[in-house]
Amino acid sequence: MSARGPRVALSGYYGFANAGDEAVLAGLIQSLRAGGGADLTIDALSIAPEETAATHSVTASHRYQVKALIESLRRADLLLSGGGSLLQDVTSAHGVFYYLGVVRLAQILGKKTMFIAQGIGPLIRPRTRRMVASVANRLDAVTVRDPESLALLREIGVSRPPMEVTADPALLLTSRAPSTGTREGQIAVSLRPWAQSAESLPEMVAKASAIGAPNARAIAVAMQPQSDFAPMEQFARQWRQTSDQQTVSLPASADAPLPLPDLLSAIGSSQMVVGMRLHALILAAAAGVPSAALAYDPKVGAFMRSTGQEDAVLDVHAADQAALDQTIARVWAERAERAGRLHEALPPLRASAMRNAEIALDLIRRR
């Protein structure tokens, strides 16, 4: 181990202006520092290393510059691959090849390696499944954020490394800002592009939210502004037609960044979240704010089950206006009781989220 203290390299979807992945990175850094001491160095592999270094107070290396990547791995004692949904091949297998390639390179360099807080799958291509299994069986440890990911790893033949179901590191984040919600209440909405419905999904959600949460103002949250700002603008336009209450867009434009403190404050000052984006739901749970979820991917339903909110999940493929109206109105009406249940569920979830860093740091200490 380096005389300067232990070094950890983090490989994930960092620097791409995706608020969910930035929340994961922030949670990992917070938990690693809490247990690793002042001499722990964290280097994040990022598409925007200068921005990542400034935002998260870590060192950062460019994920696609080969010399910088190799140097980061060469200096590291441990490579952490994750968290998030890095290993899925529904849209393309290119991401899988990149993330596995980074892990394999670290292994060739003789470094310890770990999948940390990953959501595995879907993996539908035989070649991809074989590659994941081959690399994963050379890991020193694996943590995944839901039981379904663990089951998939076992299904494709991963058996050698110790594996544990933990929780998403973003659950460790909290807002320091006081509540700024209006007296009547505030609802935060986070949607992603979705074209597979007869009617515009953002308009349907806006109608249901405005009717189900009367007298509440709305925060239209674009977690990944370049892709999400357009559907959130659709939501905001319909909200203004349906409700006489204010709506605020966060961020203010598709080109503007969404600072993590602003996101945490917006969600933490709300009384309910309606979300498609997984990390809008995770950050809501971390703040004790109940949610209604539109599940476009199994990971959304899996998380809602882990927080006892499975009765507030709608399959986005089958959601209609009546179902949206009923679910959002019910969660809003029960928001105080649901918030109380979430606060009771949070301590074990946060302890589980801390396990990711505990396992990683134990690997370093065991050398």
Tokens 């510059």 correspond to 65
Measured CA to CA in angstroms, residue 68 lies from 15, 38, 62, 111, 243 at distances of: 16, 24, 6, 16, 52
| Residue 363 placed within a domain | no
Q: Of 232, 264, 261, 259, whose CA–CA distance to 248 is shortest? A: 232
One domain, residues 136 and 12: yes
One domain, residues 13 and 157: yes
| Residue 354 placed within a domain | no
- In angstroms, rounded to a whole number, what is the distance separating the alpha carbons of residues 58 and 51? 10
| Residue 172 placed within a domain | no
Kindly calculate the radius of gyration of the chain based on its CA atoms and give it in whole angstroms.
20
| Residue 178 placed within a domain | no
Q: How many domains does the chain have?
A: 2
pLDDT tens by residue, the chain, 367 residues: 445 789 999 999 999 999 999 999 999 999 999 999 889 999 999 999 999 999 999 999 999 999 999 999 999 999 999 999 999 999 889 999 999 999 999 999 999 999 999 999 999 999 999 999 999 999 999 999 999 999 999 999 999 999 999 999 999 998 765 444 444 699 999 999 987 655 699 999 999 999 999 999 999 999 999 999 999 999 999 999 999 899 999 998 999 889 999 999 999 999 999 999 999 999 999 999 999 999 998 899 999 999 999 999 999 988 899 999 999 999 999 999 999 999 999 999 999 999 999 999 999 998 6
| Residue 248 placed within a domain | yes
| Residue 12 placed within a domain | yes
- In angstroms, rounded to a whole number, what is the distance separating the alpha carbons of residues 225 and 149? 28
One domain, residues 200 and 294: yes
CB atoms within 10 A of CB 236: 19
One domain, residues 200 and 67: no
> What CATH number should be reported for the domain holding residue 16?
3.40.1190.20
Tokens 């189900």 correspond to 212
| Residue 149 placed within a domain | yes
One domain, residues 117 and 155: yes
One domain, residues 231 and 292: yes
CB 258 within 8 A of CB 251: yes
One domain, residues 197 and 133: no
CB 167 within 8 A of CB 145: yes
Instruction: From 165, 198, 218, give the residue that closes a domain.
Output: 165
Residue 217: domain span: 186-346
